[in-house]
Structure 1
Amino acid sequence: AVVISGAGVQDANGTYRATPKEYCDAPIYEHVERGAEFKITREPHTNAKTGAVKHGWLLGQNGKPLYGAPTESLEVPSAGWKKFGGDDPVPTVKVQQLEDLLFAMSAADAALECEDWALAVQHCTAGIDALKRSGGRFCDAFKNRAALILSRRASAHLRLKDFKAALRDAVASLELGAPGLSSAEAVALEAARELGCKDESLAQKILEPVGTGRILDPGAPLVLRCVERWVTEVVPLFSSAEEGQLQVPVVTHMPSDRYLDGLDEEARHAVIKQYLPELPFGGTGIISNPKDCLTVMAKWEEVFTSQEFQAKRKALWARRDLSYPLRLKETRTMVAESLAVVLEPMGFAPGRPGLARVVKQMQVYWSADKSCADKALDLEELADVSLADLE
């Protein structure tokens, strides 16, 4: 919440709460009592001479600016406010993140009581965002609040039949280690059943790493992309794994998860493309252990031994108009197109960027694991190309 006091425009004083609406990548705040008549919004300003765009926060009445604070911050500033169209004095501004969280939790509880699951998810997400803005991470109070609100959101996702999201939030809640979260454990097991795991003992075995603190990023415990990746890798085990042969995936933490938190896939791709144009986006697929590597290579072998692939390979080698570099380029393209049915469902990008990403990851296991190395030699013979050259 943002508390405005001492403003020359008396009606502008009071408490403002974040709404689900956003503008300029920041929440729109509305007056608790007067609603949308009074808003606090982040606004852009374009310099007429240079064309440069700067930002600031405005407190306005019915679209008319009263007070403003120039800053590039995505958070409402507590200092630096100036008079625009309002009356002196300028307001005192206090930002109360904890109040936002408590309001969101109360609203989420009310929505759960009314069985409005979508609204409950919305309020829980607002509470999680408030916790992120609070700057806390390591104290028990932060962990307990985060665990509770994640547990609530997991329950709402379960009722909406979004079982992967329910499992993600339940896992994150249990990872935070707050006591008495049997509801999160129950949601995790029910989500696992809905995702294909009919044996509860197997589900418990697969979920054994949960709660050890190794799945969440300890430096950014509310950035859940690492949990999403782990859940994506775990789900296939629910229907295919046997307890005696179980190998639970290793969690992968990526710095980009923190930096690009809050962006959807399209926005993430745009940022990566803008700032790393020399590195084509290879997708989000992960090969996390030797078993994964062997499984993927077995699927490659099915493709490489097919009549269609072998016909393409022979036709390519029969061409006399290609130099070695051009032949290698054409081979990479042929292999990438042929393996699309294997790689794209795993999250690797279409074409050669996705192929390059998976080859780079698999090289680790070709060097360290004999079974992977032997299978790589078999594949090279089938494809008539060094697999390392496919990167």
Structure 2
Amino acid sequence: MWRSLASNMLTFLIVALFLLVGVVLWGQSQYRAEGPLTDAICLRVDRGSNMGVVSRSLEEQGAVTDSLIFRLGADYTDKTGQLKAGSFLIRPGASMEQIVDQLTRGGASTCGTEIVYRVGVTSTEAQVRELDPATDKFVERAAFDPTVDEAPEAYVEKRSMADTRYRISLAEGVTSWQVVEALKAIDALTGEVAEIPAEGTLAPDSYEIVAGAERSAILARMQELQTLRINAVWESRPEGISLASPEEMLILASIIEKETGVPEERGQVASVFINRLKQGMRLQTDPTVIYGITKGQGVLGRGLRQSELRGQTPWNTYVIDGLPPTPIANPGLASLEAAVAPDETDFVFFVADGTGGHAFATTLEEHNRNVAKWREIEANQSNN
């Protein structure tokens, strides 16, 4: 009898073990299998939340088939305690394993709200944007100029949320004064700015920041990146260029940046100035005259007067020979590269052509014809 009972018990244990193994294997396959989600969702994980709350939210939104398997899988892989707060873009078909990895890996949120501070040549704009999971594109919810406008309600609301992301986008051609004034107006930053960085030493780019970051630290990042770019471009310069130093390259690049907003023209504009320098001609470029008037503090907002074109300032390339003493803006990488590797042309003149670009010329006669065309375009525009 005891032998029969023992035999039956052993059989039961073996069957139970096989069933347990089967259940575990099935659970593992479910944990790693493609998920049921058909449309992307943005999952928000609040600070202090736990894997149980998250698993139920995922099940309610149709991202996982079984919240229990999700929690057990997270426990089994020792990731339950690594849950991060933030907003996470869960893509269609994501497995439970992939979702757990995404929620515990850390780093910046992948969806939700971001506030972008765009520092431009003529204005600064704060944009509140939200990622639409269905299209994987950001939708603008509010925009205002933080230097002059009161913050809208949408901005105030998103500024109070812990998972809101922040970014500063610096346009090519902004001056250092403009950058500092914009940073002062960004309430997500802290600290004072001791002095305005030297013109040309800030790299136009997009910078991820965190709320509470020091303004001086952001400026230091911009300076570090620009230094790296200047050194890299100067080291890779071709032989025989007419620029004598990285400083001259930076000055010329800033003029190129202010002269054209058409990327394809940078090499041609650079060739005009290089050709003029080689021939001993004055650069005669309006942006340098404007900088001599404003010192980079704001926008002139009107056309230049003849008296200003003849005015004596260190930057007025109508009256000085060669390059001005300092950059007139913060140039981007493409303008730095154009300064040391201009197009090979005979151009020594250019003027606006009415399309946003320029008409280039090798002779004064040709240039005068281009100028006449531009004057005609200006007259037609003023009459319309």
TM-score (norm 1): 0.27
Q: Which has the higher contact order (CA 8 A, sep 6+)?
A: 2
TM-score (norm 2): 0.28
- Compare the two structures and name the one with the higher helix fraction: 1
Highest CA radius of gyration, 1 or 2? Answer: 2
